[in-house]
Structure 1
Amino acid sequence: MFDHVKFGVSDYAASKAFFVKALEPLGVAVLAEGVPTYGVELGGKGIPSLVLFQTEEKPAHLHLAFMAENREQVDAFYRAALEAGGKDNGAPGLRPKYHANYYAAFVIAPDGHNIEAVFQGPEA
Protein backbone atom coordinates (compact mmCIF):
# COMPACT_ATOMS: atom_id res chain seq x y z
CA MET A 1 0.00 0.00 0.00
CA PHE A 2 2.72 2.52 0.94
CA ASP A 3 5.69 3.51 -1.17
CA HIS A 4 7.20 5.50 1.69
CA VAL A 5 6.35 7.02 5.06
CA LYS A 6 7.97 10.32 6.05
CA PHE A 7 7.86 11.90 9.49
CA GLY A 8 9.66 14.58 11.47
CA VAL A 9 12.00 14.03 14.38
CA SER A 10 13.26 16.54 16.93
CA ASP A 11 16.88 15.23 17.03
CA TYR A 12 17.84 14.08 13.55
CA ALA A 13 21.23 12.61 14.50
CA ALA A 14 19.86 10.62 17.45
CA SER A 15 16.84 9.34 15.52
CA LYS A 16 18.91 8.40 12.47
CA ALA A 17 21.40 6.49 14.64
CA PHE A 18 18.56 4.73 16.48
CA PHE A 19 16.61 3.65 13.38
CA VAL A 20 19.70 2.59 11.40
CA LYS A 21 20.91 0.34 14.24
CA ALA A 22 17.51 -0.93 15.40
CA LEU A 23 16.28 -1.86 11.90
CA GLU A 24 19.53 -3.37 10.58
CA PRO A 25 18.57 -6.88 11.83
CA LEU A 26 15.43 -6.60 9.67
CA GLY A 27 17.46 -5.90 6.52
CA VAL A 28 16.84 -2.15 6.53
CA ALA A 29 19.67 0.20 5.50
CA VAL A 30 20.22 3.79 4.36
CA LEU A 31 19.06 4.17 0.75
CA ALA A 32 19.65 7.92 0.36
CA GLU A 33 20.29 10.99 2.47
CA GLY A 34 20.05 14.73 2.02
CA VAL A 35 20.37 17.63 4.43
CA PRO A 36 18.64 16.97 7.78
CA THR A 37 15.57 19.02 6.82
CA TYR A 38 15.15 16.76 3.76
CA GLY A 39 16.09 13.61 5.66
CA VAL A 40 17.35 10.09 5.38
CA GLU A 41 15.54 7.31 3.50
CA LEU A 42 15.72 3.81 4.98
CA GLY A 43 14.53 0.62 3.31
CA GLY A 44 15.47 -2.65 1.66
CA LYS A 45 14.25 -5.87 0.01
CA GLY A 46 10.99 -4.48 -1.28
CA ILE A 47 10.19 -2.84 2.07
CA PRO A 48 8.45 0.52 1.64
CA SER A 49 10.89 3.22 2.64
CA LEU A 50 10.88 5.17 5.87
CA VAL A 51 12.08 8.78 5.69
CA LEU A 52 13.08 10.79 8.78
CA PHE A 53 13.68 14.54 8.68
CA GLN A 54 14.58 17.24 11.18
CA THR A 55 11.68 19.40 12.33
CA GLU A 56 11.20 22.07 14.94
CA GLU A 57 7.58 21.01 15.41
CA LYS A 58 6.78 18.56 18.16
CA PRO A 59 6.06 15.34 16.26
CA ALA A 60 2.98 13.35 17.21
CA HIS A 61 3.76 9.87 18.48
CA LEU A 62 3.50 7.09 15.91
CA HIS A 63 3.25 3.32 16.10
CA LEU A 64 5.35 1.76 13.35
CA ALA A 65 5.38 -2.03 12.97
CA PHE A 66 8.10 -3.64 10.84
CA MET A 67 7.69 -7.12 9.38
CA ALA A 68 10.30 -9.67 10.45
CA GLU A 69 11.09 -12.88 8.56
CA ASN A 70 11.21 -14.99 11.74
CA ARG A 71 11.22 -14.78 15.53
CA GLU A 72 15.00 -14.52 15.65
CA GLN A 73 14.82 -11.26 13.70
CA VAL A 74 12.32 -9.90 16.22
CA ASP A 75 14.72 -10.80 19.04
CA ALA A 76 17.68 -9.22 17.18
CA PHE A 77 15.67 -6.05 16.49
CA TYR A 78 14.81 -5.73 20.19
CA ARG A 79 18.44 -6.13 21.30
CA ALA A 80 19.71 -3.68 18.65
CA ALA A 81 17.01 -1.13 19.46
CA LEU A 82 17.86 -1.18 23.17
CA GLU A 83 21.58 -0.90 22.37
CA ALA A 84 20.73 2.10 20.16
CA GLY A 85 19.09 3.88 23.09
CA GLY A 86 15.49 2.70 22.73
CA LYS A 87 13.38 2.09 25.83
CA ASP A 88 11.64 -1.22 26.44
CA ASN A 89 7.93 -1.19 25.65
CA GLY A 90 7.39 -4.96 25.47
CA ALA A 91 10.03 -7.69 25.29
CA PRO A 92 9.93 -10.26 22.47
CA GLY A 93 7.16 -12.76 22.91
CA LEU A 94 3.83 -14.05 21.75
CA ARG A 95 0.88 -11.69 21.83
CA PRO A 96 -2.10 -14.11 21.83
CA LYS A 97 -4.57 -11.23 22.22
CA TYR A 98 -3.85 -10.50 18.52
CA HIS A 99 -3.58 -14.16 17.41
CA ALA A 100 -1.79 -17.37 18.38
CA ASN A 101 1.34 -16.76 16.25
CA TYR A 102 1.76 -12.98 16.74
CA TYR A 103 5.38 -12.71 17.97
CA ALA A 104 6.50 -9.14 18.54
CA ALA A 105 8.74 -6.76 20.44
CA PHE A 106 8.18 -3.07 21.14
CA VAL A 107 10.58 -0.21 21.92
CA ILE A 108 10.19 3.53 22.35
CA ALA A 109 12.35 5.56 19.93
CA PRO A 110 14.01 8.91 20.76
CA ASP A 111 10.89 11.00 20.00
CA GLY A 112 8.55 8.66 21.86
CA HIS A 113 7.41 6.66 18.83
CA ASN A 114 6.37 3.06 19.54
CA ILE A 115 8.45 0.89 17.19
CA GLU A 116 7.54 -2.77 16.75
CA ALA A 117 9.04 -5.74 14.95
CA VAL A 118 6.58 -8.58 14.33
CA PHE A 119 6.57 -12.07 12.87
CA GLN A 120 3.09 -13.53 12.38
CA GLY A 121 3.92 -17.05 11.26
CA PRO A 122 4.26 -20.26 13.21
CA GLU A 123 7.54 -21.02 14.97
CA ALA A 124 10.01 -22.74 12.64
Structure 2
Amino acid sequence: MFDHVGFRVRDLAASRRFYDAVASAIGLSTIDNSPTSFLLGKSASEPIPFLWIGTDQPSFWSGGHVTSASPLHLAFSVDNHAKVNAFHKAALENGGIDNGMPGPRGPAEMGYYGAYVLDPDGNNIEAGCRN
Protein backbone atom coordinates (compact mmCIF):
# COMPACT_ATOMS: atom_id res chain seq x y z
CA MET A 1 0.00 0.00 0.00
CA PHE A 2 2.84 2.43 0.82
CA ASP A 3 6.04 3.05 -1.08
CA HIS A 4 7.61 4.95 1.82
CA VAL A 5 6.83 6.92 4.96
CA GLY A 6 9.12 9.30 6.82
CA PHE A 7 9.42 11.18 10.05
CA ARG A 8 11.95 13.40 11.77
CA VAL A 9 13.76 12.67 15.02
CA ARG A 10 15.74 14.86 17.41
CA ASP A 11 18.70 12.56 18.13
CA LEU A 12 19.77 10.46 15.15
CA ALA A 13 22.23 8.30 17.13
CA ALA A 14 19.63 7.39 19.78
CA SER A 15 17.02 6.67 17.10
CA ARG A 16 19.46 4.59 15.04
CA ARG A 17 20.37 2.48 18.09
CA PHE A 18 16.66 1.93 18.87
CA TYR A 19 15.58 1.14 15.29
CA ASP A 20 18.65 -1.06 14.59
CA ALA A 21 17.61 -3.21 17.54
CA VAL A 22 13.89 -3.45 16.82
CA ALA A 23 14.43 -3.98 13.08
CA SER A 24 16.77 -6.87 13.77
CA ALA A 25 14.31 -8.40 16.25
CA ILE A 26 11.53 -8.53 13.65
CA GLY A 27 13.57 -9.55 10.60
CA LEU A 28 14.03 -6.12 9.00
CA SER A 29 17.13 -4.00 8.37
CA THR A 30 18.28 -0.45 8.79
CA ILE A 31 20.06 0.93 5.76
CA ASP A 32 22.50 3.85 5.59
CA ASN A 33 21.00 6.72 3.62
CA SER A 34 22.85 9.94 4.45
CA PRO A 35 24.79 11.44 7.36
CA THR A 36 21.47 12.75 8.72
CA SER A 37 19.07 9.88 7.97
CA PHE A 38 18.64 6.14 7.58
CA LEU A 39 16.05 3.81 6.13
CA LEU A 40 14.25 0.88 7.68
CA GLY A 41 13.10 -1.82 5.28
CA LYS A 42 13.45 -5.44 4.25
CA SER A 43 17.10 -5.19 3.15
CA ALA A 44 19.55 -3.10 1.15
CA SER A 45 18.86 -5.35 -1.85
CA GLU A 46 15.07 -4.96 -1.39
CA PRO A 47 14.76 -1.42 -0.01
CA ILE A 48 11.15 -0.61 -0.98
CA PRO A 49 8.89 -0.10 0.85
CA PHE A 50 10.89 1.81 3.43
CA LEU A 51 10.59 4.03 6.47
CA TRP A 52 12.78 7.17 6.27
CA ILE A 53 14.05 8.38 9.67
CA GLY A 54 16.19 11.49 9.91
CA THR A 55 16.96 14.87 11.37
CA ASP A 56 16.69 16.95 8.19
CA GLN A 57 13.54 18.74 7.19
CA PRO A 58 12.77 17.65 3.64
CA SER A 59 12.21 20.54 1.23
CA PHE A 60 8.62 19.46 0.60
CA TRP A 61 7.59 19.76 4.30
CA SER A 62 6.05 22.98 5.51
CA GLY A 63 8.18 25.40 7.53
CA GLY A 64 5.94 24.99 10.58
CA HIS A 65 6.70 21.29 11.07
CA VAL A 66 8.03 20.50 14.54
CA THR A 67 9.66 17.15 15.31
CA SER A 68 7.32 14.96 17.37
CA ALA A 69 4.89 17.82 18.05
CA SER A 70 2.23 15.21 17.48
CA PRO A 71 3.60 11.72 18.22
CA LEU A 72 2.84 9.12 15.62
CA HIS A 73 1.74 5.53 15.92
CA LEU A 74 3.56 3.00 13.76
CA ALA A 75 2.75 -0.73 13.77
CA PHE A 76 5.06 -3.36 12.29
CA SER A 77 3.39 -6.57 11.10
CA VAL A 78 5.30 -9.69 12.11
CA ASP A 79 4.49 -13.35 11.67
CA ASN A 80 4.60 -14.77 15.19
CA HIS A 81 4.44 -14.08 18.94
CA ALA A 82 8.17 -14.69 19.37
CA LYS A 83 8.98 -11.73 17.10
CA VAL A 84 6.56 -9.50 19.02
CA ASN A 85 8.29 -10.51 22.25
CA ALA A 86 11.76 -10.01 20.72
CA PHE A 87 10.72 -6.56 19.42
CA HIS A 88 9.56 -5.48 22.89
CA LYS A 89 12.69 -6.77 24.61
CA ALA A 90 15.05 -5.19 22.04
CA ALA A 91 13.22 -1.88 22.25
CA LEU A 92 13.44 -1.71 26.05
CA GLU A 93 17.14 -2.59 25.94
CA ASN A 94 17.86 0.19 23.43
CA GLY A 95 16.17 3.32 24.71
CA GLY A 96 12.50 2.41 24.35
CA ILE A 97 9.91 2.81 27.11
CA ASP A 98 7.25 0.17 27.72
CA ASN A 99 3.83 1.30 26.54
CA GLY A 100 2.12 -2.10 26.59
CA MET A 101 3.62 -5.50 27.34
CA PRO A 102 3.28 -8.26 24.72
CA GLY A 103 -0.12 -9.91 24.83
CA PRO A 104 -3.53 -10.30 23.21
CA ARG A 105 -5.10 -7.03 22.00
CA GLY A 106 -8.62 -6.12 21.00
CA PRO A 107 -11.55 -8.49 20.72
CA ALA A 108 -10.60 -12.17 20.85
CA GLU A 109 -12.06 -12.77 17.38
CA MET A 110 -9.36 -10.48 15.92
CA GLY A 111 -6.67 -12.93 17.06
CA TYR A 112 -4.21 -10.06 17.48
CA TYR A 113 -1.09 -10.24 19.65
CA GLY A 114 1.00 -7.10 20.03
CA ALA A 115 3.37 -5.00 22.10
CA TYR A 116 3.86 -1.24 22.34
CA VAL A 117 6.88 0.90 23.14
CA LEU A 118 7.71 4.58 23.00
CA ASP A 119 10.76 5.36 20.87
CA PRO A 120 13.34 7.99 21.92
CA ASP A 121 11.07 10.74 20.53
CA GLY A 122 7.91 9.51 22.26
CA ASN A 123 6.33 7.88 19.20
CA ASN A 124 4.22 4.81 19.92
CA ILE A 125 5.83 1.92 18.03
CA GLU A 126 4.11 -1.45 17.90
CA ALA A 127 4.79 -4.93 16.60
CA GLY A 128 1.91 -7.35 16.21
CA CYS A 129 0.66 -10.47 14.50
CA ARG A 130 -2.70 -11.98 13.71
CA ASN A 131 -3.27 -15.69 14.05
Q: What TM-score do the two structures reach when normalised by structure 1?
A: 0.87
**In the alignment, which residue of structure 2 is the partner of 1:30?**
30
**In the alignment, which residue of structure 2 is the partner of 1:67?**
77
Deviations 1:28-80 (A, max 9, x none): 112332121xx101110667211111148332311000011101100010000
Instruction: Report which stretch shifted further, 45-54 or 2-11.
Output: 45-54
The correspondence for 1:83, drawn from 93, 102, 108, is 93
C-alpha distance in structure 2 between counterparts of 1:58 and 1:99, whole Å: 37
CA change 1:99–1:112 in 2 (3 A) is farther
Question: Are the counterparts in 2 of residues 10 and 55 from structure 1 also a CA contact under 8 Å?
Answer: no
5+ long unaligned stretches in structure 2: 58-65
Q: What TM-score do the two structures reach when normalised by structure 2?
A: 0.82
C-alpha distance in structure 1 between counterparts of 2:19 and 2:51, whole Å: 10
Write out aligned runs for 1:7-46 (5 A): 7-36=7-36, 39-44=37-42
State the percentage of identical aligned residues.
Answer: 42
User: 4+ residue runs of structure 1 moved beyond 4 angstroms?
Assistant: none
Root-mean-square deviation (Å): 1.9
CA change 1:62–1:99 in 2 (3 A) is farther
- What's the secondary structure of 1:90's corresponding residue? strand
5+ long unaligned stretches in structure 1: none
**In the alignment, which residue of structure 1 is the partner of 2:51?**
50
